[in-house]
Chains A and B, each alone.
Chain A
């Protein structure tokens, strides 16, 4: 079965640089979520999109922005990177249209961002 695809899997950037993370949800999933997981920490919700519109916002820095495109893939743009941005960034997708997998979020493998 198709899963959530994230690219790149690993990314190394220097401070003050910009990074773009991409997420391709499971086909026919209409909602995408972004989470940030720091070393040894639990995932923290950043932002979500439903049908290409921002649906919810969490603890996302103003330096970060995201959008969902017409093909439902999503991109997380991170500018003026700081050392503290080093983390695992997960994308998840879901579809709440009913069925046995309603309300389940399917997570991608994550993008490991290292800021040096």
Chain B
């Protein structure tokens, strides 16, 4: 079984400032890692994913994440946020030997203010 912990439930940030969203996971098997964003009253959109290879993954909208196997972490970063980045962000894992179900973290609400 897998579990995902998002260490911050809410992150306030000023426009054009950097942001980091923390995600730690635990699993007895190898996993794939994902970050999704959910805007109000909308579905989930994939920001980026880690399957294998380079531990630094770049995604859409200027986001990137770094996989750290020893610390079982997959933190998401953006060097300069916009107002439009205000949304809920979910970290998720999937066991590599599974049929694909995602285990989500509790989510981090990012609020960007001018």
Contacts and interface: CB of A to CB of B under 8 A. Distances in A.
Interface of A: 4, 31, 33, 35, 41-45, 48, 50, 55-56, 58, 90, 92, 94, 96, 102-110
B98 A56 contact: yes
B99 A56 contact: yes
Nearest to A45: B101
A94 B43 contact: no
A53 B100 CA distance: 14
Interface residues of B, number: 22
A55 B98 CA distance: 9
A103 B32 CA distance: 8
Contacts of A41: 106
B28 interface: no
Interface string B86-109: 000010001000111111111100
